Amino acid sequence: MPHHRHRRADSLARGMDSPTRFQLLFDARLNKGTAFTEAERDEHGLLGLLPDAVESEATQMARIRLQYAQQPSDLMRYQYLSALQDRNERLFYALLRSDIQTYMPIVYTPTVGEACQQFGHIMRRPKGMYISIRHRGRVREILRNWLVQDIRFIVVTDGERILGLGDQGTCGMGIPVGKLALYTACAGVPPQATLPVVLDVGTNNEAFLADPLYPGLRARRTTGDEYFAFVDEFVDAVQEVFPDCCIQFEDFTNAIAIPLLARHRDRVCCFNDDIQGTAAVALAGLFGACRMAGTRMHDQRILFMGAGSAAVGIAELFVTHLVREGMDLQEAHSRCWFVNSRGLVTAGMPGLPEYLAPFAHDASGLVFADRTPSSAQSPCTSLVHAVDAIRPTALIGVSTVAGAFDQAVVEAMTRANARPIIFPLSNPTSKSECTAEQAIRWSDGAAIFAAGSPFAPLHWKGRLHVPGQGNNVYIYPAIGMAVYATRAHRVTDAMFLRAAEALARQTTEHDLSVGLIYPPVSDILQTSIAVAIEVATLVHESGLARVPRPADIGAHLRSLIYDPSY
Ligand code: NAD
């Protein structure tokens, strides 16, 4: 059939009526490269534009793996995969799914951090949308420039707090791109439904401002009312242009993230993964730890090292869970203690933010060791003395202070508990409050351990310990798939709580027997789908869905999973 009589071939066209030869070869969503069949080549006028062999996706993948293995550094591997995504989207996702454990640290943390820092130098094709504050007043019009109309997920950042790397300005785009790739790879959200966005309000990164290759708005950050008005304009414009879209706020600085979420969470479909996703993954870890230790959630007392957005998010979700289980709210608050950079947070500590008030307890009943260092602001500035006085069952590190869980601290936790729960969640690895090996050695193998960063399995006194990784990737793609399948019009804390419970149930007895409180990352697609089905069920039960309840919620959700095969 001559190529000017293109028929709608579903495998090729994916919603387009008559893709041109140019589109078939250069639109990443349509391109199959050497996998175009003889008939397709004939039909669409591709004969002679490809080498003779008609290859399977498996053969193409073998070539990709060969080329990937030749890349000399993680950053080059990142660029290689990014170019593959630009060239052949299905092959990109098939590759990620084939070995997610290998590719996740490249397309996402930690390599994505370096990619953001180098973005101005390594960028090739732009991905997603860059909305500059210079164009305020025109955000609706700009969003309409995107080529796909049915956008369901936007991950948006203003680039101010990219991982632990600070202000990356417009180069922070790597984060929304990476997170959305994991929505698809880890939970099956179709990539055409996703849109990464940077709100470019300038940067205070001096090196970028001086770099002629910095591709963003060359100005200092706009702040205050003007900043919030711009973000509000964006949120409102999304409601109009993409009415079924969920907005994930990502890597905004703490001082903005908390008010931004509070401002929009009850008005539109949105969430903040740094706050809510972290909370859910930590709570799932606590559920797993309880199973491993044979204890109950309402027996737990948590000491948080760090009192920022991650810590408060975890504490609030833990409290929500305890209250649902029947505990009095005040009692539930009393189960959480915080240490910040000034010491143990107690009632009357000057200058405490409002969200810490319910967790600032009266310490007069605590007995601190002699010579406990105190200050005008806190009766205890020593973590080990705080552990000895409070006797927490769990110690959660979200402070970015590497080494804060030293031998004395781990030993104090072990004196107080048969199975001390020790979660150094700070990222990246260099910021971890302790290593897996330290926690296991200093507790003589008793610690129940999970960290924000990956640690290798180890043996202690003949027993294998596989350190769990408390990473949000167990939560947000699954929440995303549930929202996608139900067209939920809000994302609630109850959904994160359900996700945490569902995730914890995915951990098998075998996982627990080797010290793993989360299911292995290699099984993440299956894990995420199971979690998504439970969250989708809750969405329907709570009346938040915008689609009728299907007879079989699981089967319906599974039918929507993105399939990268040709
Ligand atoms: P944040 O800036 O909001 O909070 C950091 C907190 O640490 C602040 O309360 C600060 O007072 C406290 N702190 C700093 N120095 C301290 C010290 N010497 N002693 C005690 N407390 C100290 O940051 P955040 O968003 O809450 O993130 C904190 C860390 O948690 C980061 O390393 C981040 O990478 C990590 N994190 C991990 C995950 C995960 O999934 N594992 C998710 C979110 C955040």
What distance in Å separates the CA atoms of residue 36 and residue 43, rounded to the nearest whole number? 10
The 8-class DSSP code of residue 361 comes to B
How far apart are alpha carbons 507 and 90 in whole angstroms? 30
- Extract the runs of DSSP E, i.e. beta strands, from 95-174: 129-132, 153-157
Q: Which of 378, 425, 475 for a ligand 1 pocket mutation test, highest count of atoms within 8 Å of Cβ? A: 425
Contacts of residue 432, Cβ cutoff 8 Å, sequence gap at least 6: 397, 402, 424, 426, 451, 452, 453
93, 103, 108, 214: the active-site residue: 108
Tens-of-pLDDT digits for all 566 residues of the chain? 344 433 434 444 444 567 899 999 999 999 999 999 999 999 999 999 999 999 999 999 999 999 999 999 999 999 999 999 999 999 999 999 999 999 999 999 889 999 999 999 999 998 999 999 999 999 999 999 998 999 999 999 999 998 878 999 999 999 999 999 999 999 999 999 999 999 999 999 999 999 999 999 999 999 999 999 999 999 999 999 999 999 999 999 888 998 899 999 999 999 999 899 999 999 999 999 999 999 999 999 999 999 988 999 999 999 999 999 999 999 999 999 999 999 999 999 999 988 899 999 999 999 999 999 999 999 999 999 999 999 999 999 999 899 999 999 999 999 999 999 999 998 878 889 999 999 999 999 999 999 988 899 999 999 999 999 899 999 999 999 999 999 999 999 999 999 999 999 999 999 999 989 999 999 999 999 999 999 999 999 999 999 999 999 999 999 999 999 99
What is the spatial distance between Cα 164 and Cα 26, in angstroms, rounded to a whole number?
36
> How are the residues of the chain apportioned to helix, strand and coil, as percentages rounded to the nearest 5?
50, 10, 40
User: Is residue 425 lining ligand 1, measured as CB closer than 6 Å?
Assistant: yes
Q: Cβ(107) to ligand 1 under 6 A? A: no
- To which residue do tokens 């948080």 refer? 304
Q: How far, in Å, from the CA of 311 to the mean position of ligand 1?
A: 7
Q: How many other C-beta atoms can be found within 10 angstroms of the C-beta atom of residue 526?
A: 11
Question: What is the rounded CA–CA span in Å between residue 104 and residue 528?
Answer: 15
- DSSP helix/strand/coil, 465: strand
> What is the spatial distance between Cα 110 and Cα 554, in angstroms, rounded to a whole number?
33
Is residue 109 lining ligand 1, measured as CB closer than 6 Å? no
> Is the C-beta atom of 469 inside 6 A of ligand 1?
no
| pTM summary value | 0.92
- DSSP lists the bridge partners of residue 395 as 303, 422
| Whether 95 contacts 103, CB under 8 Å | yes
Amino acid at 381: T
Both tokens assigned to 234: 């964006």
Q: Is the CB of 253 under 6 A from ligand 1?
A: no
Q: Which atom of ligand 1 is nearest to the CA of 469?
A: 41
Closest CA to 197 of 263, 245, 253: 245
Helix runs in 400-444, H state only: 407-416, 436-442
